[in-house]
Amino acid sequence: SQQGEEDPQALSIQEGENATMNCSYKTSINNLQWYRQNSGRGLVHLILIRSNEREKHSGRLRVTLDTSKKSSSLLITASRAADTASYFCATGVQGAQKLVFGQGTRLTINP
């Protein structure tokens, strides 16, 4: 079953602009994670935010989490062509051994 749902499904912006992707989920979570997938490849773990955290940064990435709204956002600042990829959120539920992934946002950075 899918818990995380990303929005938008696709996003196209110019290089240098900021990209924002959103994720909504349904049940209580331990943490929320973001992954990147380049075309035809596996997923790469980007960042994890715990349920008691509200914001986290890693380089050009900024993740926010609002547990009251059951939503998260991923902001990529000063986008580059190499950021072109699909981005997935995944939720970790207490007691569960597995993550539940959303369907992803396809991000295209135009030069």
What is the Cα–Cα distance from 91 to 25, expressed in whole angstroms? 8
Please say which residue, 8 or 16, places its beta carbon nearer to another protein.
Answer: 8
Of 48 and 61, CB closest to another protein: 48
Concatenated DSSP letters for 35-55?
EEE-TTS-EEEEEEEETT-SE
Judged by CB under 8 A, the residue of 45, 54, 57, 80 near another protein is: 45
Q: Which two three-digit tokens encode residue 29?
A: 């979570």
Residue 42 lies near another protein (rule: CB under 8 A): yes
- 32 vs 76 by CB, closer to another protein: 32
Query: Does residue number 43 form part of the binding site for another protein (CB under 8 A)?
Result: yes
Residue that has been written with the tokens 């994670």 in this structure: 33
- In whole angstroms, what is the distance from residue 34 CA to residue 19 CA? 14
Binding-residue pattern over the window 8 to 27 for another protein, x denoting contact by CB under 8 A: --------------------
